[in-house]
Chains A and B, each alone.
Chain A
Amino acid sequence: MGVLPTLQKQRHPLASGEAQRRRLAALPLARSFESALDGVGLLPLAATGIEILQVNVGKKCNQTCRHCHVDAGPDRTEMMPPDVVDACLRVLAESSIPVLDITGGAPELHPEFRRIVVTATGLGRRVIDRCNLTITRLPNYRWIPRFLADHQVEITASLPYFQARQTDAQRGDGVFEDSVAALRELNALGYGKPGRGLVLNLVTNPVGAFLPPDQRAAERDWKRELERRYGIVFDRLFTITNMPISRFLEHLEEKGQTEAYLARLVQGFNPVAAAGVMCRTTLSVGWDGTLYDCDFNQMLELPLGQALPRDIRDFDAARLAGRPIALGPHCFGCTAGAGSSCGGAVA
């Protein structure tokens, strides 16, 4: 599999968030997400604060992974404009939100990525870069590892498996080899090594329509195998459930597995995971400044509730910190089994 065109480029019927929401709403589920929450006393689901400002700086990426919920790829052009970048940084400066989580696409492709990092770290905030690893192998982007290390940026890097076949099946031919090279370079800079303060976490999504394995057991396997095979070390492994939206939804549709996968997510509803979903402590910002409860709602174009500020330029911590969360059938993806979040399992 080479670099594929995005759904948007293909003018695919599932390219829009609205079309995806319509498809999900038409599925005959055993129960709605709202009724599942109601059954465990969590309805209405509300945020408990804003601990993470997750900024999606754009949809451009050097890869087109099969499971990507963003439909990111080389042919996407959406990029956060400078005034929206300024607004995000102003919110950080004027609030006490402790974590800036930069995502995309490949966030390092944003022309102001370095300014964002330098400003946020200068404000004393913990900064996370959601890195696809292969971006660091491109000639114009070889500066990334050293830059991230110099600014003590925490790296959360995608690696679905410790073997090439599964990794390349999800992320494209040659991705595993480039990822190993990138991880070795990060290790050489001190990332993932004790006492260096350079955090390197890995993220794995299942290579298919099933739930992720137990996070602790998988982390033991990943650590053993990556060190034994490639001499690579890292801090933590995050297991993340594939969300039935965008390209993974298209994959499910192609395989005729959409209903079965949603049924698996519904069957796996875990009240403990539901209580700990990331949207309760995260505020998500789209490339154009629009606010969302999470990156998934962002891609589904599912806005914040009525009467709430809907743009980062109108940020109001008091009104957003306890906001009701906008819900849909896709939310079962975050509550199945051990749960799933940008920081891995939650239960």
Chain B
Amino acid sequence: MDDSHYYHAPDLARFGEMGKGAPELWEKFSAWYGAVFAEGALTAREKALIALAVSHAVQCPYCIDAYTTASLEQGSNEEQMTEAVHVAAAIRGGASLVHGVQMRNHLERLGM
């Protein structure tokens, strides 16, 4: 076990060890997770791209590795994947900026 830093790439393959503390919860999570990513109203490719974008929004390095591979294996290309990351970045940036309205509201309250 490498505990010299918090994020360690091989730990992704050990994700299943989370089942040791609460096996029933892990089984429920695994079943639900599998169902979420199955082909449905959205294609498996679209879901992988959404997951890739969300991975960047929540800044999970394990998820970024996993869904970069998954997106490629679902047939997405570098351009599509980069655009998905821009969507995440735009939402994060926009989310900061839209709070500026709250700032403006408070400015209004305090100002003359």
Say yes or no: is A189 at the interface (Cβ < 8 Å to chain B). Answer: no
Taking CB atoms, residues of chain B closer than 8 Å to A96 are none
**Docked CA distance A336–B52 (Å):** 23
Q: Are A217 and B69 in contact (CB under 8 A)?
A: no
Say yes or no: is A214 at the interface (Cβ < 8 Å to chain B). Answer: yes
Which of chain B's residues 4-41 have a Cβ closer than 8 Å to chain A?
13
Q: Are B73 and A218 in contact (CB under 8 A)?
A: no
Interchain nearest-CB distance for B34 vs A (Å): 15
Say yes or no: is B75 at the interface (Cβ < 8 Å to chain A). Answer: yes
Say yes or no: is B43 at the interface (Cβ < 8 Å to chain A). Answer: yes
Which listed residue, B43, B44, B75, touches A218 by the CB 8 Å rule? B75
Q: Are A210 and B45 in contact (CB under 8 A)?
A: no
- The digit string for B73-107, where 1 denotes a CB below 8 A from any CB of A, is 11101000000000000000000000000000000
Which listed residue, B13, B44, B74, B77, touches A166 by the CB 8 Å rule? B77
Which listed residue, B43, B45, B73, B77, touches A211 by the CB 8 Å rule? B73
**Docked CA distance A213–B72 (Å):** 7
Taking CB atoms, residues of chain B closer than 8 Å to A208 are 72
User: What number of B residues sit within 8 Å (CB to CB) of A?
Assistant: 10
- The digit string for B52-76, where 1 denotes a CB below 8 A from any CB of A, is 0000000000000000010011110
Taking CB atoms, residues of chain B closer than 8 Å to A166 are 77
Say yes or no: is A161 at the interface (Cβ < 8 Å to chain B). Answer: yes
Taking CB atoms, residues of chain B closer than 8 Å to A210 are 69, 72-73
Say yes or no: is A163 at the interface (Cβ < 8 Å to chain B). Answer: yes
Taking CB atoms, residues of chain B closer than 8 Å to A264 are 69
Say yes or no: is A212 at the interface (Cβ < 8 Å to chain B). Answer: yes
Say yes or no: is A276 at the interface (Cβ < 8 Å to chain B). Answer: no
Taking CB atoms, residues of chain A closer than 8 Å to B13 are 263
Taking CB atoms, residues of chain B closer than 8 Å to A214 are 44, 74-75
Taking CB atoms, residues of chain A closer than 8 Å to B69 are 210, 264
Q: Which residue of B lies closest to A206 (CB)?
A: B72
Q: Are B43 and A217 in contact (CB under 8 A)?
A: yes
Q: Are B77 and A163 in contact (CB under 8 A)?
A: yes
Using known A-B contacts A214-B44, A217-B43, A263-B13, determine if residue A337 contacts B73 with beta carbons closer than 8 Å: yes
Q: Which residue of B lies closest to A30 (CB)?
A: B13
Interchain nearest-CB distance for A216 vs B (Å): 10
Interchain nearest-CB distance for B45 vs A (Å): 7
Q: Which residue of A lies closest to B45 (CB)?
A: A217
Q: Are A213 and B73 in contact (CB under 8 A)?
A: yes
Q: Are B77 and A217 in contact (CB under 8 A)?
A: no
Using known A-B contacts A214-B44, A217-B43, A217-B45, determine if residue A161 contacts B75 with beta carbons closer than 8 Å: no
Taking CB atoms, residues of chain B closer than 8 Å to A161 are 77
Question: What residues of chain A have their CB less than 8 Å away from a CB belonging to chain B?
Answer: 161, 163, 166, 206, 208, 210-214, 217-218, 221, 263-264, 337
Closest 9 CB pairs of A and B: A213-B75, A210-B72, A211-B73, A218-B75, A210-B73, A210-B69, A213-B74, A217-B75, A213-B73
Give 22 CB contacts A-B under 8 Å: A163-B77, A166-B77, A206-B72, A206-B73, A208-B72, A210-B69, A210-B72, A210-B73, A211-B73, A212-B73, A213-B45, A213-B72, A213-B73, A213-B74, A213-B75, A214-B44, A214-B74, A214-B75, A217-B45, A218-B75, A263-B13, A264-B69
